[in-house]
Amino acid sequence: MRSAILFDIDGTLLYARGVGRVAFGDAFLAAYGQPYPDVAGLCFVGATDSNVVRTMAAACGIASTPAREEHFFLRLAHDIDAALSLNKPHIYPGIPELVGRLVEHSHALGIITGNVRATAWSKLRHAGLDHAFTFGAYGDEHHDRSAIARIAVTRAPAGTAVRLMIGDTPLDVQAAKANGLKAVAVATGWVSAEELAAAGADLVLPDFSNTDACLALLESLL
Ligand SMILES: [Mg+2]
C-alpha cells in the first residue's frame, strides 16, 4: 500500500507574515460585536482556530455560539485571502522541491492544520503548493489537534495509509503519537530543535533545504 504523509501548514510549509493576527481581530469584532483587547497577545503556536476564538470569547465574557463561530470563520478566511493576495506567504527553504519529490515518488500528501478549511487552502494556493495536496482535516472540524489528525487519517485516498506526520510544535508530535504515526518535527517555526526532540519526535530537522537528504530520511520512516 502506498504511504500518505500529513503536513502541518504554519511554521512547517510556510509563514503567512502575520496576516492571521490582524484578521483574527477584525473578524472577532465583526462576529462577536466587540473589539478584542489583546490581539498582539494571542498565541497561535500549535493552536487551532476554534480554540483561539473560543478563548477570545471567554476572555470577553461572550458565549461562543456555533453561529458566531461560523460568522467569524467566514470573515477570517475572507480577510486572510485578501491579505495574502497582496502579500504572498513566505515559503520555507526546500519546501516546493521536497513536496514535488514526494509526489513524484507516489506518496499521497495531506494537510493537518488548526486553520479553518478555507484559510488552509487559501494559504496553500497563494504559496503555489495546493496542487500537491489531495486531502486534509482542519481547525473548524475540531478544537483539538490530535482529533483533527484522526479525521485526516480517515480521509487518506483509497490504496494509501497515513504513516507520517510533519509539524513544527510539540502539539504536532503529540497528535502524531496519539494516532500511531511517526512524528517528524522541523524547527522552521517558533520552537527550537531541542524542544522538539524533547517532545519525542522520531526525527527533528532544522529545515528542509537539503532535498535529497530530507527525502531519504523521511522515506526511511515510512
Ligand atoms: Mg504549525
Considering only CA atoms, which of 14, 219, 52, 71 is closest in space to residue 143? 52
Listed residue (126, 116, 22) closest to 74, CA to CA: 116
Both 62 and 101 in one domain: the answer is no
pLDDT value of position 98:
98
Q: 75 with 156, same domain?
A: no
In angstroms, what is the span from residue 46 Cα to ligand 1's centroid? Answer: 5
Mean residue pLDDT of the chain comes to 97
With a cut of 90, say whether residue 171 has pLDDT above it. Answer: yes
Where is the domain boundary, 86, 110, 135? 86
Cα separation, 170 vs 98, in Å, equals 22
For residue 165, the cross-strand partners are 6, 183
pLDDT at 46: 83
Same domain, 142 and 198: yes
99 and 151 share a domain? yes
Residues with Cβ–ion distance below 5 A, ligand 1: 8, 10-11, 168
Overall pTM > 0.85: yes
Does residue 210 sit in the same domain as residue 162?
yes
Mean pLDDT of 198-218: 98
Same domain, 43 and 144: no
Rg, the chain, Cα only: 17
**For residue 214, what is the domain's CATH number?**
3.40.50.1000
What's the mean pLDDT in 25-50? 94
pLDDT surpassing 90 at residue 45 = no
Same domain assignment for residues 9 and 23: no
By percentage, how much of the chain surpasses pLDDT 70?
100
What is the 88 CA–ligand 1 centroid distance (Å)? 18
Count of other CB atoms within 10 angstroms of residue 58:
11
Same domain, 42 and 69: yes
Domain count, the chain: 2
Q: Find the 219 Cα to ligand 1 centroid distance in Å.
A: 21
Mean of pLDDT values over 150-156: 98
Distance between CA atoms of residues 127 and 130, nearest Å? 8
pLDDT tens sequence across 57-84 = 999 999 999 999 999 999 999 999 999 9
Residues 208 and 190: their CA atoms lie apart, in Å, by 16
Per-residue model confidence as pLDDT tens digits over 174-199: 999 999 999 999 999 999 999 999 99
Among 68, 86, 104, the domain-final residue is 86
Range of the domain at 72: 19-86
DSSP one-letter code for 157: P
133 and 173 co-located in one domain:
yes
Same domain flag for 120 and 187: yes
Residue 185 CA to ligand 1 center (angstroms) comes to 10
- Considering the domain architecture, whether residues 136 and 198 belong to the same structural domain is answered as yes
Domain end call among 86, 108, 134: 86
Query: Do the beta carbons of residue 219 and residue 45 sit within 8 Å?
Result: no
Same structural domain, 110 and 215: yes
